[in-house]
Structure formats: C-alpha cells, structure tokens
Amino acid sequence: MGSDDMDVDEPVRPSGETNNSLYANDVSAAKLAAMQTHTKATAVRSIEGWIIIVTNVHEEADEEALHDKFGEFGEIRNVHLNLDRRTGYVKGYALIEYTTLEEARSAIDGAHNTDLLGQTVQVDFAFVRPPPGKGSGARTGGGGGARGSNRGARSGRSRSRSPGAGGGRDRDRDRDRDRDEVL
C-alpha cells in the first residue's frame, strides 16, 4: 500500500439486515457490538484511528501517567491532554487515539471506572452517532451550541451594553450635565 492509500473499514450492517453468509453476519454483529458506547450510541472512526475520551482526569496527570495506564491495551498513536491556560493544570479530560477498534474497545472495557492518580476515570468513545431515535442524526462529535436556548429570540433590551447605546437617555443626561458645567 502506498503512502497516499488509506485503510477503509468495512461497512457495518445493523443486526436486522440479512446477509448471505451466516459467518459474515456474526462478524458484523460482533463489530457493531464492539462499537457500542455505554449509552448505546455507535462509535465513529476518526480519520486516522479510534479516539477515546477519558474524563475525571486528575489535574496533575501527565502524558506519562496516561501512557502507563492505557499503553497496556494497545499501541497509543496520540495523546491529547488539554491544559488550563491560567493554572497550567489539566482541564480534566484526555483524548487517546488507538489504531484499531479492538485496542480502543479493550481500553474502554479495561479502564472504565478505574483509578488514575487517586480519581476514578470514565472512559468511552469520543466520537459517536446518537442511538436510533435520539437526535436528528445531523450532528456527530461533541458539543458546540446551546441546546434549548432562545438564540435569535428578542428580549426586551438592547444587546449592546456599551455607553451611548442605551436608547439615548444616558447621552442626553451627559450632554445636559456638560452644558451646565460650561455655564
């Protein structure tokens, strides 16, 4: 395989679909089961591998501690550990990338609800499709946007709170005060 070629995973069929080969159907069902998260959503592969998210990470954890804990489950391709700019401590989560689904699944199964530096960490797939019947299916991955907000709805006040934008009352008062000081 050349350096420009990319490995493409076989499409996984839901267990309700039929297949000519019983063995192939068993393999697809097993792979689909391996891709299930704790909330029954289906994991999605990133461009280069399978990424898991580790939450409740101790603020003084470092990449070495994560490699020690998660290296036993497979070859770690990448570790991303966000730090708080102000304090310099870990924000409380880490993203760990594995090459194969099996390695990522074994890390999730083996490290979920275990101890890391005195704190119990939770581990799951970072990128998922919502479970059937949940969500619109248009969004994958994490967050962004306020759910249930009235974005775009007008409240009774101006959006700008800067001086001079409050409907003119403050501006008129300042002008009258300045005129009185001159006289």
Q: What does the alpha-carbon distance between residue 103 and residue 114 come to, in Å, rounded to a whole number?
A: 17
Q: What does the alpha-carbon distance between residue 18 and residue 16 come to, in Å, rounded to a whole number?
A: 7
Reading the chain (183 residues) residue by residue, the pLDDT tens digits are 455 554 545 544 444 444 454 445 555 777 777 777 777 788 888 888 999 999 999 999 999 999 999 999 999 999 999 999 999 999 999 999 999 999 999 999 999 999 999 999 999 999 888 777 766 544 445 444 444 445 455 555 555 555 555 555 666 666 666 666 666
CB 79 within 8 A of CB 95: yes
Determine if the pTM surpasses 0.75. no
